[in-house]
Amino acid sequence: MSYTGPDSEPPQPRRSPLRRPLTVVVAALVPGALLAWGVYAAVGGPDDAGGGDAEKPAGSSPAPVSGKPSASPSPLPAPGSLKGKVVVIDPGHNPANFQHTSEINRKVNVGTHWKECDTTGTATNAGWPEAKFTLDVAHRLRDLLEKRGATVKLTQDGDRPYGPCVDERARIGNEVKADAAISIHADGSGSGNRGFHVILPGRVHDGAADTRAIVAPSAELGERVVNGFVRVTGTAPANYLGDGTGLVTRTDLGGLNLSTVPKVFIECGNMRDGADAALLTSGSWRQKAAQGMSEGIVSFLRG
């Protein structure tokens, strides 16, 4: 699909102007047809917001995670069925970070070491910033989860001059005792490196960092997010790390080290690769990305 800009949607298909009179027989079939259409619309048709054809990486296909067959899509829970569940969405970086370099460069304690408060994030070669991508996807994901009854909190909503710092991002999820937390990012790797990956917390017990209680549930959350993301977006796990599983474990990220609730990071694609950038800047693909994350989170919360 040709590049249409980061905030635009692909043109919607035109409806046929032809209308034919309904016969008595056809009229009798209308209730069944409407029911079938309702099922189709629930899973996303071409006229849905973000429901257009996804730009699928060449030669990619949904792959099972860790050699296991992907689970069949489970029915979406009824509206309100996640009532009482709390999800924290952490849109990586902040669109205004670049205006506050001294503040985001100050060091904070992430348990195992000291690290910069935050960074500006990466950008596409055309200059569209990761921070705008993450906030857009976070809004889409929030809407999907709230429709299911979950209480959703964002760590930032473009409503502060910079940050929050990585330690505060973790603290926000801890304070609300989130049932699940996800930090949304896009990578800035070399051209030719394609695909998404989900980062899991490794086992850390050092200083203020103690991930021992969240390693297992975070791994489960991560696997479900990977499966949902592959199934809905049609994109493959990263070809440059994770051995094709879409899963990477790290012990150097303060947002994970300081978390006391199940949490993962997702790098949705590589902004520095032209093919991945075409996906990341597509509104319809971002909607599918949010839907894939939502399916994984909902599956995790339902147990």
Catalytic residue among 55, 168, 223, 267: 267
Rg (CA), the chain: 20
Question: DSSP E strands: which ranges in the chain?
Answer: 86-91, 107-109, 114-116, 151-154, 180-187, 197-201, 205-206, 209-210, 247-250, 263-270
What are the structure tokens assigned to 167, written together?
């330690």
* Cβ pair 262, 181 in contact under 8 A: yes
Order of strands across the sheet that contains 86-91: 151-154, 86-91, 180-187, 263-270, 197-201, 247-250
Which distant-in-sequence residues (6+ apart) come within 8 Å of 44 by Cβ?
Answer: 50, 51, 291
223 tagged catalytic: no
Dihedral (CA of 142, 147, 148, 151) sign: positive
CA–CA separation, 270 and 275 (whole Å): 9
**Residues identified as active-site:** 267
